[in-house]
Structures are given as C-alpha cells and as structure tokens.
Amino acid sequence: MSAIAAAPDNGTATWAPMTREQREQFDADGYLVLKGVLSPDEVRHYASVLETAHRQHPRAADGSLHLLSPVTNYPDLVDLIDHPATFPLVWSILGWNVHIYHSHLDVHPPLAAPKPDWWHWHQDGGRQNRELETDPRPRLSVKLAYWLSDVSAPGRGNLTLVPGSHRTNWLPGPPTRDVPWPTPDGARQVAVDAGDVVFFDRRIWHARSDNLSEITRKCVFLGYTYRWIAIRDDVDGLPDRPWWSGLNPVQQQLLGGVGNTGGGHGHDNGTDGDHHWGHYPHTTPLYEALRDRGLLDPNHPPLIP
C-alpha cells in the first residue's frame, strides 16, 4: 500500500475533504498511512506527555502503560483530536454527528524476550462483533493512530493488520487464545516514522506485535463514532475543568460536551438524547462548520445537508 502525504497546514486544511484517491484506497485496504503529519517539535512535545503519563500511572508487569481517556487526563493532547491533516478523514467517512467514544495512549518499553503465544487478533468494537448480524458488519467507527516513536522497521511493537480484511467477519483462529497459531495470511507490520498517522476502519483485523527493539513504543489512539453510540472515555465534569473554555466548539463536541442544553423545537435535547441522534444539526458545531464551508455532500449519506 502506498503512503499518502499529509495535507499542508495552511489554515484551511481542517476543511479539505478526503480525496478520491484516499477514499478508494481506504475502501479497498481498510486503512491509510499519512506521512509527516506531526513536525519533529510536535513529536517531541506529545512524546513528553506520554513519558509523563508513563511515570505517573501504574504500569503492567512488562512496564507498559495502556491509559484510557488520554485527553481527559492530559489536555495537552487536545489538538490531536481535530488535527487539520487528519480530522477531515473522519468527517469525510462518518459525517458531522460524531464524537470520540474510545481513546487511549500506549507506552511499551522494549521486551527482554518475546511474550508467550497469545492470539491478539481482533476487530475493534468488542461485543458489536458478536451481536451484529450483517455480513460484512457495519463500519460504525474509525480510528486515528498518532505515532510518536519510530516504528519504521518490524519488531518495534508495530500495528499489524491484514489489508482488506475489514469486509471479513471472521478469521480462522485457535480454539483458545493461548494455543500457538499461524499468523493470518496477508498480515503485515505497518512501518511508519514518528509523526506519521495511521487511519483505519475499526473492522480491519489487527494486533500489536512485540516490541523487541531498543526503542520505547509510544502512540495515541483516537476512536470516532456516531454520537448515538455511548462514549467509553471518562467525560464527567469536563465543562468544569479550567481548560475546557479554551477549546473550540468542534473540540467540545468531540469530547462529548455538546447537547447539554435545550436546542429549541420544544425539546430539551440535553436530556432526551435527541441531540446525539442528530435531530438538531444546526446546533451541532461540526455540522455548522461544514455547512458554512460548502462541504456537506448530498451524494454521501453522512454528509447530506
């Protein structure tokens, strides 16, 4: 799969929709690699945030950290959620009625030896993949992975995936996860540099490889879905945080803070859930932003005006 260069940050890139080339590649492969999204200074800044998190939070036995709700815990990460080079991919696929429902930061120091066999291959979504009956399953969500360490060679904890597997409901696997089993056919470790981003369909079959290098693996994952799907991240009390008022309205929407007041039409859309179901588009910041820029698209259902 060929990598795609990030859009230049010229002040308008947030509102440059996914290109036809990107859409065709995403539909075929289930993922895109965007090169050079973050500058070296940005990589150093965000990596330092993850290093702080690694020091401040309890770690697993192997020294790794998997921390949910990274922006809630570390608001210095907030500019990643609507980054101008990546966020257009999200709304180009899912539309304007979205939020971040599940996110995490990951720090994986080098391992002394490979871990025992364990079948890590999965699609995101948990129970969705057992309880939804369609074939293929619906997309429902997409994810951005911001790489803050060099995983340009295999064996560095690379994201490993099977291109095109997002339209496959099941992979042949072991009877239990601890039974040794061959790697799925067509699997590849995604090799990217620090500052690159991987954008992927939640349905693509993927796993994390062991980090057997001398480099500590650092990455931030942001999962976006429709606002009628509940947020898994910890968002209680966010509007009372001192930094909340400094966020732009779209950022507040993505972190679950839009729809807490009445929106007219005789309804309190903050308590009955209708706002999250998209019944009040004109009170939803991302809808307004896309409409004002002429980016709603009658040919793409999530963006129908």
- On whether the pTM is more than 0.75, the answer is yes
Check: CB of residue 284 under 8 Å from CB of residue 253. Answer: yes
Per-residue pLDDT tens for 185-239? Answer: 999 999 999 999 999 999 999 999 999 999 999 999 999 999 999 999 998 899 9
pLDDT at 4: 61
Check: CB of residue 213 under 8 Å from CB of residue 153. Answer: yes
pLDDT at 13: 66
Which pairs from 270-277 meet CB under 8 Å and 24+ separation?
Answer: 273/228, 275/227, 276/97, 276/99, 276/227, 276/228, 277/97, 277/227, 277/228
Which tokens sit at 72? Answer: 């809630």
pLDDT at 260: 53
pLDDT at 26 over 60: yes
For residues 107, 109, 114, 118, the Cα torsion angle rounded to the nearest 10 degrees is -20
Q: Chain-centre distance of CA 163, in angstroms? A: 17
Confidence class of residue 6 from pLDDT cuts 50, 70 and 90? low
Please state, in angstroms and rounded to a whole number, the distance separating the CA atoms of residues 76 and 224.
19
pLDDT at 8: 45
pLDDT at 11 over 60: no
Per-residue pLDDT tens for 160-174? Answer: 999 999 999 999 999
Q: Which CATH class is domain 4-303?
A: mainly beta
pLDDT, average across residues 136-165: 98
Per-residue pLDDT tens for 106-123? Answer: 999 999 999 999 999 999
| pLDDT averaged over every residue in the chain | 91
Please state, in angstroms and rounded to a whole number, the distance separating the CA atoms of residues 111 and 178.
19
Task: Please list the residues that pair with 146 across neighbouring strands.
Answer: 197, 220
